[in-house]
Amino acid sequence: MMSMNNENWYPLETSAKIYPAIISPRQPSVFRFSCTFTEEIDPSILQTALNVTITRYPGFCMTLKRGAFWFYFEELEKSPLLQPEHNYPCQMVDPEAEGGFLFRVTWFKKRVNLEVFHVISDGTGGLEFLKTLVYYYLLLSGKDVKPGTSVLTLGHKPTPEERENSFLRYYDPEIPADRADTLALHYSGTPLPPGHSRALHVRTETAPLLAISHEYDVTLTEYLTAQFLRSFFDVLAGSTDSDKAVKISVPINLRKLFPSQTLRNFTYFANIGEPLANASEPLEDTLQYIKTNLRAMCQREPLIARLNPNVSSEKNPLLRAAPLSLKQLVLRQAHHILGDNLFTASYSNMGIIRLDEPMERYIENFDFGLSCSDSIPLNLSMLTWGDTAYLTFSSIIEERDVERAFVRKLSDAGLTMQILSSDLGTRPEKGDNHENLS
């Protein structure tokens, strides 16, 4: 393999090594951010903005190469090509179709989309890339925007820390490894045709949603995790697997607990849930369980104990010496046992999207979506922009029962929502109107 001193390549960080082993059209491991402007996009200007943006993010200007022992990233000496949007969201990123790149940028009318293969970054890195792209598009369009503190520009030179494998920095062999977990109940339905997906967007005012969460003395993430969990309770009640737990996988941005500037993956996935047998318990009990256990999982030492096994296996001399084909087989088996089998669905909250005020006037909204897989056919994601919470259900099955149950729960809590669906168009939802989701 190439010398470690060659600056044109670098190894995958710890958590990224699983993705080349499991990627397929039915498990694309892709996330998507969208930004909708107030005016229709000029694609020629957007392409120029993309050419500028990629020079600021060398970690995105890479392709995936196969070595004798590991996959690795190799630098690309070109710019990605903007494409009109023509596929369903979050389809597999095929480097051959993307000029070697591990992400794609598409546009449709007023909307620009960034879709990223998880191997190069997590949501934090992806969002930073999109914000820079939006800034340069507005600037090159002649808008009165100035660089502030919310966007990385060419004036902020890339730092070595942005490419850091932060899992290695915080690895602590003195803390015993802990991977104890239980199998989760899986949800299934009628698969959509290959390459198809459904998206259901739920928009609601943030203030009332926060007020409800605070009434229960929980965070917004804890409240919506509980309601998402209980939506599966409603749909799966009576299942013969009532001894298994419905578990929601909640991505935790480790940068908030372990100082890091990395734009690569630095996320831990906390699987939290209860047995289906507890479906009849009151909401307050579910909330207390989620609150207690999720906060316990997110303490420094328990997190390091959970992260240590990935790093220690990476350092294992026998595994390091094994050929890549054998490593791929081991990683696929590990993912089957320790990955999708341990949760029912994901709920990812990217939090508040912040831009400098001069940029905000030209933007209508942001959206965030996740890909699905055969094992995990439904996921929920959200972000907050301005006064509005934007929630997105991503699905690759026909059934809408969980989405319907979730909307009903928020409606019963007194929230007014707007529903945007690839099936239904746009309309306000309140009270029993959510039954129209069927």
DSSP for 146-187, please give it: ---SSS--TTS---GGGG--HHHHT--TTSPP------B---
| Per-residue pLDDT, 405 | 98
Residue 372 has pLDDT above 80, yes or no: yes
Kind and range of the H or E run holding 332: helix 324-338
Query: Strands 30-37 and 363-370, how do they pair?
Result: antiparallel
Sign of the four-CA dihedral 48, 53, 54, 60: negative
Residue 295 has pLDDT above 70, yes or no: yes
Residue 427 has pLDDT above 80, yes or no: no
222: phi > 0 → left, psi -120 to 50 → alpha, else beta; which? alpha
| Per-residue pLDDT, 237 | 86
Instruction: Say how many C-beta atoms besides its own lie within 10 A of residue 357's C-beta.
Output: 9
| Per-residue pLDDT, 162 | 97
Could you give all domains of the chain from N- to C-terminal order, each with its CATH number?
9-152+159-169 (3.30.559.10)
Instruction: Read off the tokens for 92.
Output: 């597999």
Distance CA 316, CA 236 (A): 41
DSSP assignment of 94-143: -TTTTTT-SEEEEEETTEEEEEEETTT--HHHHHHHHHHHHHHHHHHTT-
Mean pLDDT across 46-55:
98
| Per-residue pLDDT, 422 | 75
| Per-residue pLDDT, 423 | 64
Residue 45 has pLDDT above 90, yes or no: yes
Select, from the ranges 237-251, 303-317, 328-342, 357-371, the one with the highest average predicted confidence (pLDDT): 357-371
Distance CA 319, CA 313 (A): 7
Distance CA 180, CA 419 (A): 39
pLDDT in tens, 208-247: 999 999 999 999 999 999 999 999 999 998 777 778 899 9
Average pLDDT, the chain: 92
| Per-residue pLDDT, 182 | 87
Instruction: Say how many C-beta atoms besides its own lie within 10 A of residue 157's C-beta.
Output: 9
Residue 245 β-bridge partners: 184, 275
pLDDT in tens, 1-33: 333 345 688 899 999 999 999 999 999 999 999
Distance CA 87, CA 83 (A): 11
Residue 51 has pLDDT above 70, yes or no: yes
Mean pLDDT across 287-311:
94
Strand order of the β-sheet with 103-108 is: 83-84, 103-108, 111-117, 30-37, 363-370
pLDDT in tens, 160-202: 999 999 999 999 999 988 877 889 999 999 999 999 999 999 9
Which range, of 83-87, 142-146, 241-245, averages the lowest pLDDT?
A: 241-245
Residue 250 has pLDDT above 90, yes or no: yes
pLDDT in tens, 375-391: 999 999 999 999 999 99
| Per-residue pLDDT, 387 | 97
